[in-house]
Structure 1
Amino acid sequence: MNLETLNHCSAQEATEAFMLCCVSERWCQRMVEARPYADFAALCDAADQHWQGLGDNDYLQAFEGHPMIGDVSTLRAKYANTEALASGEQSSVNQATEQVIETLARDNQRYYERNGFIFIVCATGKSAEQMLALLQARLPNSRATEITNAAEEQRKITRIRLEKLL
């Protein structure tokens, strides 16, 4: 897809495209209604503006679009080696140790139990060790603080997905 196609496709097709980037229905609706976009920068500006104007329930809906990384086998596969990482996003990642993987799984579960939603972080360019450090740093935060933190991370993820979409 390219920007011209996105600007001129049906509302249904545009919604489906935006849902690939973020599953907040309200955000997608606003993005569809704001078309056409002059260029990629305008699209990103609108994405940020519409994201900032949402409420906690919209953010929580967006977070539900991510799989929970809490199972050791999933984490083991994700951090097996640098070859498995998408598009060279992590250029100098060492293999994750079994201890790091198991701690990530345990702390992801603790985070979910504490906040009622999964740990959201823009993982691009981060090793398993860095992810664990971020998770552990955010574990003591209040739920309200974590909704804010996770919303900002989701915004970054959405931007990357918009780039990949076009």
Structure 2
Amino acid sequence: MSNVESLTAFNALEAGEAERELLTCCASGAFARYVAALRPYRDLAQLTAVADATVRDLDWEDVSEALKAHLRIGERAGGADREASWSRQEQSGVQDHLREALAEGNHAYEDRFGHVYLVCATGLSGEEMLTRLRDRLVNDEEAERAIVRNELAKITRLRMAKLVGA
């Protein structure tokens, strides 16, 4: 479980421990190493700005590493760990009757782009997530990668705030 109760506690962690905590926000080793190395952070705004810029600057290989930790939209997260809990909260807008349509959409998306469909689900209804998924299926790879980076940055920003108790 987390040893982080505040930004001050996060800043005080040993490097390896800080990296492990950061991996729960964005599962890219490059991300975790870089953000941990720039500590201490004076406030949440500085921490999230660095995290956001880091996600946007990741090589695609590192983005792909992070995507592997994300559940498909509509799948139910098992487990009692922090990431599973956050995933359940983030996807709370998915109603049971949409799960089949989302499963079909996820399959089509993964066939087209080769990775999980990623959307910052917080505050979105299941219908909105499904509509966005279908709309994004027409994107070319470059446009979709830009959207994925943006969505990953949004998710990371939200999780960073949760990590440090903000």
Match of 2:11 in 1: 7
Judge conservation of contact 1:70–1:109 (CA < 8 Å) in 2: no
Over 3 Å off, 4+ runs: none
Root mean square deviation, CA, Å: 2.2
Judge conservation of contact 2:73–2:118 (CA < 8 Å) in 1: no
Amino acid at match of 1:110: A
Q: Which has the higher contact order (CA 8 A, sep 6+)?
A: 2
Match of 2:118 in 1: 120
- 1:26 CA drift (Å): 0.6
- 1:70 CA drift (Å): 6.5
Match of 1:145 in 2: 143
Normalised TM-score (structure 1): 0.82
Match of 1:82 in 2: none
Q: Which runs of 5+ in 2 are unaligned?
A: 78-87
State which of 37, 40, 57 in structure 2 corresponds to 1:36.
Answer: 40
**CA-to-aligned-CA distance 1:1-43 (integer Å, 9 cap, x gap):** 2111111110111011101100111111100110010111110
- 1:97 CA drift (Å): 6.3
Distance (whole Å) between structure 1 residues aligned to residue 29 and residue 8 of structure 2 = 22
Match of 1:57 in 2: 61
Structure with the greater alpha carbon radius of gyration: 1
Aligned residues: 150
Judge conservation of contact 1:19–1:28 (CA < 8 Å) in 2: yes
- 1:69 CA drift (Å): 3.8
Matched, 1:131 2:129: yes
Distance (whole Å) between structure 2 residues aligned to residue 125 and residue 70 of structure 1 = 14
How do 1:65-76 residues align onto structure 2 when only pairs under 5 Å count?
Answer: 65-69=69-73, 74=76
Distance (whole Å) between structure 2 residues aligned to residue 96 and residue 32 of structure 1 = 37
